[in-house]
Amino acid sequence: MSDLILTLIQDFLTNSKASIDALLKELYYFQGEKLGSVTFFTVEGNNRQPIRWGKGHFFLRCSTEYANPQLTVEELQGIITARLLETCCNYMAERKQTEVGQSDIAEISELLKKPSKGMVIPFLLNTDDVEPDRYSINPFRASIVESGQSAFPAASVVTDQLKVDQNFLAKYEGSLITKDEVESIEQHLKEGSTNYLDFVDAVKYDTLRKTSEVLGIDLRIPALRMPLELLKNEKPTDPMHKLIEASHQNYNTIRTIYELMGRNIGKRKTLLLTVPHSPKGFGSKRAVQGNIAFRQESFEQIKVKYKTTLLYANELDVKETDVSVAKADDSFSVDAGKIVNYDYSQTPSSPQFALYATLSPEDAAIWHGIGVFGGVELIRSIVSIRSACLRRTILEGVSCRGNKAPLQFNLVPEKMWRHPKHRNIDASVGCVQDLQGLVKMGTCVAPLSVEERLSA
């Protein structure tokens, strides 16, 4: 039995007790849906394997990014935290315990070695509408731009023109990525799918498999892609299509959603509730400008303009002098009829996360360092829209899961893992020579209290 895991569990039980208690309370009253299932997936080698869980389970969301193929320390901490929270709460709920002793910790340690099993199921919600180098840490940086795909949504990217940027490797070897990881990436690039999403998942699950063996925790939790994979596979009468239609129903609907997202439609109408993709393939929410146009109070069209823009700096680039770019140049408009009678195959677009999160199966979510590495406003939008949907004040005909907004948890920023030397959270797992030593520092997650907008 690993001293590392025993120490990790004991630390988690002590420092994350408020989150454990909150989830146990939620499980006590939880009533899942009796019918239906959710189809997730994992990846073995380069092969995607479907996994189905009944909707009666309590789903705990965390995530990895399609903006980089290498698994980061931040992503690893989120997954380990999800497994700790899930396993501890499943164990305690099944035994109706609120406290645990040393023998319990030993049993929890054994459960962590195996795939998730119990009422709580953790999963990765991987957003496939992001730019492929959103955070300036993708080793394909130069070829992403050269191949014309830097402003594409990740779901549209193909790998046949991608190659490792040697300048990137020379600059960031040991701080963002390692040569061993590059070799693994190049092997998957040679043998795997030309679909960029499949490629990234194959690389990350391979890293999770190896890391599971090193740490003694099964980290290969199932994943789900949203929103574009769902839209591509749906018919126009299916939920994600209906979500886009319902969110643009009329002026009052759009105004209410604006208010739920902290915007005032009377001042500006530049927040696009769904971002139409360019005929040239662009779909970057960072590179897009536009507005929702009305005639009097009747929704008329969406005006869209894409222009080249910088994305987000990595944590090592404190002067923001080495930021990746989304190169785009296009302008067009989309008539309202193509949105209120929506067909993705005819009018591809990316809805805002706060909207499509409404269709996520999650009953709770883990965020990373809100307050330092992210703001609470997005979460307020998500919670507000989900709650309004449940009250049936917006999104008529869209079925929201549960009877209340999901629980929100936050990795405590001060306890987030960093590279021992460079102090960045976006370092790859391979950059940390003593990974067990880093993990042994423990992880802490706290309940996140979020005030809804328009709660009455």
pLDDT band at 441 (very low <50, low <70, confident <90, very high): very high
Distance between CA 192 and CA 179 in Å, rounded?
19
pLDDT given for residue 403 in this prediction: 86
Which tokens in the block code for residue 197? Answer: 């999403």
Handedness of CA 64, 69, 73, 76 (dihedral sign): positive
pLDDT in tens, 42-62: 999 999 999 999 999 999 999
Does residue 357 sit in helix, strand or coil? Answer: helix
Which tokens in the block code for residue 21? Answer: 């208690």
Distance between CA 6 and CA 12 in Å, rounded?
10
pLDDT in tens, 225-255: 999 999 999 999 999 999 999 999 999 999 9
pLDDT in tens, 175-217: 999 999 999 999 999 999 999 999 999 999 999 999 999 999 9
Task: Report which of 106, 77, 65, 71 is spatially closest to residue 16, judged by C-alpha positions.
Answer: 77
Is it the case that residue 1 has pLDDT exceeding 60?
A: no
pLDDT in tens, 279-294: 999 999 999 999 999 9
pTM over 0.85: yes
The helix (H) or strand (E) run that includes residue 120 is strand 120-127
Place of tokens 């549209």: 156
Distance between CA 447 and CA 424 in Å, rounded?
24
Is it the case that residue 268 has pLDDT exceeding 90?
A: no
pLDDT band at 114 (very low <50, low <70, confident <90, very high): very high
Q: Which residues pair with 127 in a beta bridge?
A: 226
Distance between CA 374 and CA 312 in Å, rounded?
13
The rounded radius of gyration (Å) of the Cα atoms in the chain is 22
Q: Output DSSP code: residue 358.
A: G
Is it the case that residue 2 has pLDDT exceeding 80?
A: no
Distance between CA 46 and CA 128 in Å, rounded?
18
Distance between CA 289 and CA 6 in Å, rounded?
51
Place of tokens 């404190």: 318
pLDDT given for residue 456 in this prediction: 56
Q: What is the mean pLDDT of the chain?
A: 96
Distance between CA 416 and CA 395 in Å, rounded?
37
The helix (H) or strand (E) run that includes residue 330 is strand 325-335
Share of the chain above pLDDT 70, in %: 100
